[in-house]
Amino acid sequence: MKVLVVGGGGREHTLVWKLKQSPRVTEIFCAPGNAGIARQATCVKISAEDIPALLAFAKDKAIDLTLVGPEAPLTAGIVDEFQAAGLKIFGPSRAAAEIEGSKVYAKEIMARYGIPTAGYAVFTSPEEASAYIQKSGVPCVLKADGLAAGKGVIIANDMATAQAAVKSIMVDRDFGEAGARLVVEELLTGEEVSILAFTDGDTVVPMVSSQDHKRAYDHDEGPNTGGMGAYAPAPVCTPEVALRATEEILIPMVRALKAEGRTYRGVIYAGLMVSGQAPKVLEFNVRFGDPEAQPVLSLLESDLVEIMEAVLEGRLDQIDIKWKNQASICVVLASKGYPGAYEKGKVIYGLDETPGDITVFHAGTAEKDGQIVTSGGRVLGVTATGPDIPAAISKAYTAVEQIRFEGMYYRRDIGQKALNRS
């Protein structure tokens, strides 16, 4: 079987790594890929968002199955285009993917079907948004409606920050057209957890829970990023929380989408806030999370290809998905300045010095003159698996100390909330 993975970050490297473990996969292509992926697959210089070129390539190479990593091509309709051409592709349709492509739509469908989430209001006018916040008060959360690479969310604890966020999103358009509409939400408190699930539109099978670390610096300080690290499983996701998340959030959303003529097939991601044992939705994503995919897929025992085929063929209820009874952690090594402006082309040292039981997933890397160099804000995801979270943390950070590049920074508290709970 020939497989095409669309994307070029740490999530996609993880997907390639997992697919290579399948005895059914004979060849893997990745578009556009990165320097780490190039060691395990054939990289193709096609942007993840160039759907016509990706479709032409898949036809030319007789690709048997395509797996889409990032959200942008999914919300742009890559699945619809491939299916119309008779090609197998894993991921939701454009209509189903709108639960990530539009935060307004996600909030509206949750409201219609009684899925627990924060109270909210939607604005197309910055003046009206500012007036609403002035009246309703802070703290609050401001979200650009469209895609913003995980950065279009601003938590405002004071009025000055809130009003500056309205200007940033709606007037200055710091997130482009994503800021044409603004969602203002109440601030939920508690502890976050990510629950991803496979679904064929009827059956929903949750994966191992995980916890992302969105803020740039230790103790959840600094600006939001695409994610500075993650671990799995997350102790905050007790059996009761997991059951409620499945029965009150994941299954109702899949049923709601089907009722609206948007049958969802693929991976659905619920970012939740847990207070006590009650989960509420912060956001829905329509693909594997990044960096959650790194620890979650490290714990997956089953063949990913068999799962994807069961999803596409509507027989997810007929297979048994198995997980390792272990823990895994991913620590992201980032470029100085990320999530803002950062320099590229810094030589990365120590990649060959990490222990053999550590997996270093490449996110923003390239090869230049025979050396691996930085090419993105998030550069590497150092991932370790162990019998429990403390062991996995120790292994990961020991490996991190072997790697260096100019301007490298990382959070030193990935997994700390799990340790606090234990």
The CATH architecture that domain 327-421 belongs to is Alpha-Beta Complex (3.90)
Domain boundaries of the chain, sorted by first residue: 2-91, 119-186, 191-318, 327-421
pLDDT score, position 246: 98
pLDDT in tens, 247-304: 999 999 999 999 999 999 999 999 999 998 899 999 999 999 999 999 999 999 999 9
Mean pLDDT of the chain: 96
Q: What is the DSSP string of 147-195?
A: --TT--EEEESSHHHHHHHHIIIIIS-TTGGGGGSEEEEEPP-SEEEEE
> What is the C-alpha separation between 162 and 155, in angstroms, rounded?
8
> Which fold, 191-318?
D-amino Acid Aminotransferase; Chain A, domain 1 (3.30.470)
Residue 204 has pLDDT above 90, yes or no: yes
Give me the residues paired with residue 197 across strands: 206, 268
**Are domains 119-186 and 327-421 of this chain identical in fold?**
no
Q: What is the pLDDT of residues 80-125, one digit of tens each?
A: 999 999 999 999 999 999 999 999 999 999 999 999 999 999 999 9
Q: Domain 119-186: what homologous superfamily?
A: ATP-grasp fold, A domain (3.30.1490.20)
List pLDDT tens digits, range 151-182. Answer: 788 999 999 999 999 999 999 999 999 999 99
**Which phi and psi angles does 92 have, rounded to 5°?**
-80, 160
Spatial contact of 110 and 99, defined as CB atoms under 8 Å apart: no
Q: Is the pLDDT of residue 150 over 70?
A: no
What is the mean pLDDT of the segment spanning 178-195?
Answer: 96
Mean pLDDT for the stretch of residues 410-421: 96
C-alpha span between 287 and 115 (Å, rounded): 20
Confidence of residue 407 (pLDDT cuts 50, 70, 90): very high
- Burial class, 294, CB count within 10 angstroms (exposed 0-12 / middle 13-18 / buried 19+): buried
pLDDT at 44 over 80: yes
Topology of domain 2-91, CATH: Rossmann fold (3.40.50)
CB 321 within 8 A of CB 302: yes
The pLDDT value recorded for residue 107 is: 98
Span 361-383, mean pLDDT?
97
The mean pLDDT value for 371-393 works out to 97
